[in-house]
A and B are shown apart, each in its own frame.
Chain A
Amino acid sequence: MTALQPVPAGTLASLLTAIGSASVRDGGGAVTVPVPAARLETAVHHLAGAGARLADLFATDGDQVTLRLVWGLDTERQYLITETAIDDLEYPPLSDIAPAAFAEECEIYEQFGVRPAGGKPLNRVALPPHAGPDFPRLGHQPAQPPAEVHAPHTVGGQAFEFPFGPVRQVGVESLYYGLVTSGEEIVDLYLFTWHKHRGLEWRLRGRRPAEALFLAERAEGLSATAVAWSVAAAVESALGAEPPPAALLTRGIALELERLYNHAAAMAALCQSTGLSVGQAAAEIALERLLRVNAAVFGHRYLFGVVEAGGVRRGPDLAALQVGLPGGYGELRRAADALLATNSFMDRLEATGIVTTEQARRLGLVGPVARASGVAVDSRVDQPAAPYFGHPPAIAVRGTGDVLARFQVMLDEAAESVRLIGDLAAAGPGTGAAPLPGGGGAGLGWAESPRGEALAWVSLDADGRITRARLRPASVRNWRGFDDAARSQNVFTDIPIIEASFWLTVAGTAR
């Protein structure tokens, strides 16, 4: 932690007044405010009321369980972390004030045994039903196992409920969800992720940053660069390391290439979900070309192994970038233009899977999903760090919140990514990593993955080993929005279309 003494302003100042405290720590990528348990509810009310975005909620074990809430003060270009020690087994119910917190409250209960007061039923999330007291947890087993109860839903008329999965269509990840339907209309949809829970956060404990990044990349492989960058940045913030500017330019190029190929893949999935095989083939040609560009520029089709703690392991092959990118993006653009001119395709997208602006804000959604619902959140602009500080992207925003809006946002972002890559490549990217200082610390890191803001919080001991790593890929945040989108006047055949437009992963949610 640094010795900076900031003059609290804006939301931070009003928060401190609301909870009656002056204690602030600045450093590690965020401003941290210790909040006594008795003041937590007040603090959350205040922050939610001030329009702060709840970006994450997680716990750390120790003498007591410490609850940390990460808030995005996006208009003030700051992350704020409230830190609360929980003495007994309960804390104030937060998801009543910030519905974004419900999935995390469930996760905290099964890992740490502490729950929100009020007795509201909590879902089982990541730990399988047979997980006994010896099953690896980040904390302790709860006194009572979480009920097999989903969040209550309101049903007008008859409805029945059936589980779906985990083995689903061919070529997609396993996912187990409960579907509540009145026949054709979807009333509710809730996920269980234990079939893909590999315990990444548990595995990272005791590891050094270099080993941790190998696993972090594979938490959500389709966001390998983004998740690795968020963890590397958290480590760098914690230890006070500054990656060389050339390495940060390289990270930016890799991240934008990651965005490009993911958006092409989402486009292919959208075509597949609407039954437009010929469009799917065109999108897949673009996707394959972009993956080959990744391989030529960074040595791996999915950009594994680029980010390392302190910098990057590989620099871009700029000649290959110049040769390959225009053709790859050209394919993507031409396929997109043809799709936008195909009415049968567009009809399936309009007014499907609507997420309203209010829902997006309330659930703290991020990424293209939020931006398509009119919430202009983008961590490259809201929380600028190099290289985006010097190369800010234009944020693509639409207002209708349907599948079509998300598709259009992705296309706008793809164009912007190509422009950014050109700028970053001209600014002198390179390889190299700054050495990591010794000593411990804790820090917050982030990167704008193709799906939205990926966050990580890491604490290290004096030996440089991780004592707690919190991974929060964007998929964790956005699946709740998928529930809402599926629920809004949609039918079964719309589910794959909505799923493609969200382009989340189960791996990133389950970790």
Chain B
Amino acid sequence: MSGGSRARAVAASPAARAPEGDVLAARLRQRVASQFGRSLHIRTLDTGSCAVCEQEIRLLAAPHYDLHRLGFFFTPAPRHADLLLVTGPMIRAFDVAARKTYEAMPGPKLVVATGACALGGVYPADAFVYGAVGEILPVDVWIPGCPPSPLALLQGLLVAVDRLAEKVSGLTFTAGGDAEPPAREAER
């Protein structure tokens, strides 16, 4: 962070693109973010990951990424935390522990779900898992990846406190050009 101003991304602000129902949520998030901009305490929560997301999260404090320079800190105490960083597909047997951790955090607070498992991928909802963190906790920001790299996590945390604008809504995941399919494609 340089000087007294917050870093801003070049991408357009999300408010104009947010669906109707999310306008209130966006405003609340902005209010919350304005309080967290300079100093954010993060508690992690594993709802059933394969352990790799946790390793990438641990690296946020490592010299290459150093989340402290952005005013982010890890805290073991939910009471002291502003943001809950959640991995895993929300195993059903864990839901009470997840809610207790969330409820132990005083408001205002944010929830960030990260990793494909937490976003509904890998494991479908079944008797073992809910399949997505959003089934049990009110999620504010989602960060895809398997695992999300520390850079992706940093971007997500900065989006959560409104210091970067999200860009995924503007990405189409289509490629232009006139690539020809190989001949005899119809026979495959």
B92 to chain A: closest CB distance in Å?
7
**Residue positions of A touching B, CB distance < 8 A:** 128, 130, 134-136, 166-167, 169-174, 194-199, 202-203, 215, 218-222, 224, 265, 268, 281, 284-285, 287-288, 291, 301-302, 304, 505-508
Query: CB within 8 A of A173: which of B49, B75, B100?
Result: B49
Complex CA distance for A482 and B50, rounded to whole angstroms: 20
**B100 / chain A contacts, CB cutoff of 8 Å:** 167
- Cα–Cα distance between A170 and B50 once the two chains are bound (Å): 16
Contact of B93 among A136, A195, A287, A291 (CB under 8 A): A195
- Having A170-B74, A221-B147, A302-B52, one finds 7 other A-B pairs with CB under 8 Å, namely A167-B45, A195-B91, A265-B55, A281-B62, A288-B64, A505-B51, A507-B48
Of the A-B pairs whose beta carbons lie under 8 Å apart in the complex, a sample of 16, sorted by A's number, is A136-B126, A166-B97, A169-B76, A170-B42, A171-B61, A173-B49, A173-B51, A174-B94, A198-B48, A198-B128, A202-B128, A220-B51, A222-B51, A268-B58, A284-B63, A288-B59
Cα(A301)–Cα(B149), bound, Å: 9
Residues of the B chain whose Cβ atoms lie less than 8 Å from the Cβ of A302: 52, 55, 147
A198 x B127 contact (CB < 8 A): no
0/1 interface trace, chain B 130-150, chain A, CB 8 Å (1 if under): 000000000000000011010
In chain B, positions 166-183 with a C-beta closer than 8 Å to chain A are none
**Neighbour of A287 across the interface among B50, B59, B76, CB < 8 A:** B59
- Of all A-B residue pairs in the complex, the 8 with the closest CB atoms, nearest first, are A221-B50, A128-B93, A221-B52, A284-B62, A174-B46, A218-B50, A199-B128, A505-B51
Q: Which chain A residue shows the least CB distance to B45?
A: A167
Assess A136 versus B54: contact at CB under 8 Å? Given A170-B44, A285-B63: no
List of A residues within 8 angstroms of B59 by Cβ: 284, 287-288, 291
Q: Mark B54-72, 1 if CB is under 8 A from A, else 0.
A: 1111110111100000000
User: Is the C-beta of B129 less than 8 angstroms from some C-beta in chain A?
Assistant: yes
B89 at interface, CB cutoff 8 A: yes
With A167-B101, A195-B91 as known contacts, state yes or no: A136 contacts B62, CB within 8 Å: no
Q: Which residues from B are CB-within-8-Å of A219?
A: 50
Q: A128-B92, A197-B91, A281-B62 are in contact. Are A170 and B97 (CB under 8 A)?
A: no
Min CB gap A433→B, angstroms: 19
Chain A positions within 8 Å of B50 at CB level: 218-222, 507
B54 adjacent to A173 (CB under 8 Å): yes
Tell me if B97 and A287 are in contact (CB < 8 A). Answer: no
Minimum CB–CB distance from B41 to chain A (whole Å) comes to 10
Given contact pairs A135-B127, A171-B44, A304-B146, A507 touches B49 in the complex (Cβ within 8 A): yes
Q: Which residue of B lies closest to A223 (CB)?
A: B51
B62 engages A198 (CB within 8 Å): no
How far does the alpha carbon of A220 sit from the alpha carbon of B52 in the complex, in Å? 8
Give bound CA distance, A203 to B129, whole Å. Answer: 12
Closest to A222 in B: B51
B43 lies within 8 A of chain A by Cβ? yes
Q: Contact check, A172 vs B101: say whether CB atoms are below 8 A apart.
A: no
Contact residues in A for B51 (Cβ distance below 8 Å)? 173, 220-222, 505-508
Contacting residues, chain A, for B147 (C-beta < 8 A): 221, 301-302
B74 proximity list for chain A (CB < 8 A): 170-171
> Is B47 on the interface with A (CB-CB < 8 A)?
yes
